Chains A and B, each alone.
Chain A
Amino acid sequence: MCKNCKLKPVIKLPNSQISLCKSCFIKYFERKVRKTIRQHKLFKKGQHIGVAVSGGKDSLTTLYVLHKIITPQKTTKLTAILIDEGIKGYRDETFEFAKKVCKELNVPLKSTSYKKEFKKTLDQILKKNDIKPCTVCGVFRRYLLNNMAQKLKINVLATGHNLDDEAQSILMNQFRNNISASARLGPITGIKKDKKFIRRIKPLYFLTEKEIMTYAYLKNLATPFNECPYAKGSYRGEIRKLINDFDKKYPSSKHAIINSFLEILPILKKNYKQSEIKYCKSCGEPSSQETCKTCKLIKEIK
């Protein structure tokens, strides 16, 4: 029974093992997002927030909750951004769903594609090149998201990253001895003062995949099971299994990874101070090196 009102529960919270009914869970979920926004100062009233949407449950839940939160703040603006990577049988379905949700919420949706910007779909790139799918896809997507956000005069860009994603990234960086990458994690990332680099925010940072799927199911934001054909057998997938198996045996481990990480994050940020931002000599976009990763990849791929 629900801990508060004794109604039928819809979830047993992964961290506390407390059961909540539909209405108490929705309140709990939205309160958690509001708290994350407030405590980590994700955005201010009157700003223009972009939401990177893929059509999956995480990004659509981010859009839905942010829309609910900012609607009373009449000056805050929301725009959804969608990047079509060109993955046949996967992205086309979620794309349609994202369009539908944006229409229902009356949130403008701006989109572009790898085909339009790089002249090739991800499927075409991977057919001809022996490269890791998630690497090239991630580099291109982040590049286009930042580029579109600039053009749309967006102040911060929200993504659907959740507690599970973050715990996986932390362990992955740990296992690969890549702590400098962890210094760039957290609920808000990116360089504070750069007119070309749009900061990223993660409103669902403290919510697990299970909580998000529950919310998405209750709000009709969950698409039928759909898996990226290139994600199979990824390193992240193995880490996810490891964490989930461990968390089943020792509950709250996942939350402990995040909470202990947030304690050391300020030290990491201090130790790995980002070097001054450069601008790519061929495209002018922000980069840590002379030529940005996107331009390097474009040159490399056939």
Chain B
Amino acid sequence: MKIKVINEKTNKAQEIVASSITEIAQKLGINLEEVIIVRNDELITEDTKLNNHDVIKFLSVISGG
């Protein structure tokens, strides 16, 4: 499956070939403890099934200062 991942800081999209959120996180070096996941403005959990061409965004939960 091809999934578009939006970068929170730059708002740029990156296409990742993966079958699950865990796989995407692994590929991007993201710890799922440190993000929440948004698809179409809705929060989803890390075990949510993805569809081909889904657009997702990881939002950092780490406070700024």
A residues touching B (Cβ–Cβ < 8 Å)?
A: 8-12, 14, 19, 22, 54, 56-58, 90, 94, 160, 209-210, 212-214, 217-218, 222, 224-228, 230-231, 240, 244-245, 247-248
Pair B33/A244 contact, Cβ less than 8 Å: yes
A230 to B65, CA, bound (A): 8
Chain B residues with Cβ below 8 Å from A240 are 62
Interface centre among B31, B43, B63 (most CB of A within 10 A): B63
- Cβ B33 vs Cβ A213 within 8 A: no
Chain B residues with CB below 8 A from A8, complex form:
42, 44
Q: Which residues of A contact B62 (CB under 8 A)?
A: 209, 240
CB B56 to nearest CB in A, in angstroms, measures 14
In the complex, what residue of chain B is closest to A241 when comparing beta carbons? B31
* Bound: A94/B64 CA distance, A: 10
CB proximity of B10 to chain A, nearest CB, Å = 10
Output the least CB separation between B50 and chain A (Å). 14
A196 to chain B, nearest CB (A): 27
Determine whether the beta carbon of B33 is less than 8 Å from that of A214: no
Measured CB to CB, the closest approach of chain B to A226, in angstroms, equals: 5
CB distance from B39 to the nearest CB of A (A): 11
List residues of chain B with CB within 8 A of the CB of A245.
31
B9 lies within 8 A of chain A by Cβ: yes
The answer to whether A11 touches B59 (Cβ under 8 A) is: no
Number of interface residues of B (CB under 8 A): 23
CB pair B32–A10 under 8 Å, yes or no, is no
Query: Which residues B11-40 have CB closer than 8 A to chain A?
Result: 31-36, 38
How many Å lie between the Cα of A14 and that of B32 in the bound state? 10
Instruction: Check A244–B31 contact: CB distance below 8 A.
Output: yes
Contacts A10-B45, A12-B46, A217-B43 known; A56 to B63 CB distance under 8 Å? yes
Task: Decide yes or no: A231 and B65 within 8 Å by CB, A10-B45, A19-B45, A222-B59 being known contacts.
Answer: yes
Least Cβ–Cβ distance between A171 and chain B, in angstroms: 16
Least Cβ–Cβ distance between A39 and chain B, in angstroms? 25
- Give the distance to chain A from B37, nearest Cβ to Cβ, in Å: 10
Pick from A19, A90, A248: contact of B31, CB below 8 A: A248
| Bound CA–CA A217/B41 (angstroms) | 10
Q: Can you list 27 A-B pairs, Cβ within 8 angstroms, ordered by A?
A: A8-B42, A9-B44, A11-B43, A12-B45, A22-B43, A56-B64, A90-B65, A94-B64, A209-B34, A209-B61, A209-B62, A210-B33, A210-B36, A210-B61, A212-B61, A213-B59, A213-B61, A214-B43, A217-B38, A218-B43, A225-B9, A226-B64, A228-B65, A231-B64, A231-B65, A247-B33, A248-B32
**Chain A CB within 10 Å, residue with most, of B43, B44, B61:** B61
Contacts of A212 in B (CB 8 A): 61
Closest B residue by C-beta to A19: B45
Q: Is the CB of B59 within 8 A of A209?
A: no
Say yes or no: A57-B63 contact (C-beta < 8 A), given A210-B34, A225-B8. Answer: yes
